[in-house]
Structure 1
Amino acid sequence: MELPTPLSLILILAGVWTLIVWPPFLRRILKDPRARDGNGAATRFLTVHLMLISTSMILGAATAVIGVRTLVA
């Protein structure tokens, strides 16, 4: 696939941005008192946020890879 260089760079930037922004948010979620119940088990709050963060990071990594592959190709 061929893309103009500026579009490839935007994809790379968007992917890297996603991979930088979400890990600190995950650390805050893990420390949040709503993440665990009284027995220490994960709550829906934690589960939903883990799914959101993992999906976003997977899509961010895929976006960055696509950007790099279109830049190199």
Structure 2
Amino acid sequence: MTVFAAIVLFVAAVFNVVTWPRFFQRVAKDARARDAAGKPTTFYSVHLVLLLIAFAIALAAVVAGVLLLLA
């Protein structure tokens, strides 16, 4: 059961690392991402925070998966 849990955590980490950067590229190209002066909008900032949280979750999942395998 421990190996299965570790695999699930690794799959979740890979999903976050693969999916979120591609999504954020689309957000950055969206017209709502910049105002008339070219400055980032709240739309951009919120999605940037979501990306960073997804990466933090991915890192935590990898650490937890490794700890499960080593236990």
TM more than 0.5: yes
Picking from 41, 44, 49, the partner of 1:43 is 41
- Which residues of structure 2 form unaligned runs of 5+? none
Mapped partners of 1:23, 1:11: distance in 2: 19
- Which residues of structure 1 form unaligned runs of 5+? none
- What's the TM-score, normalizing by structure 1? 0.87
Instruction: State the 1:25 CA deviation.
Output: 0.4
**Identity of matched residues, %:** 37
Residue type matched to 1:53 in 2? L
- Give 1:63's aligned residue: 61
Residue type matched to 1:18 in 2? N
| Contact 1:19-1:57 within 8 A present in 2 as well | yes
Mapped partners of 1:13, 1:72: distance in 2: 18
Instruction: State the 1:72 CA deviation.
Output: 3.2
Aligned residue for 1:57, secondary structure, equals helix
Corresponding position: 1:28 with 2:42? no
Any runs of at least 4 consecutive aligned residues in structure 1 with deviations exceeding 3 A, and if so which?
none
Mapped partners of 1:38, 1:20: distance in 2: 31
- What's the TM-score, normalizing by structure 2? 0.89
Residue type matched to 1:69 in 2? L
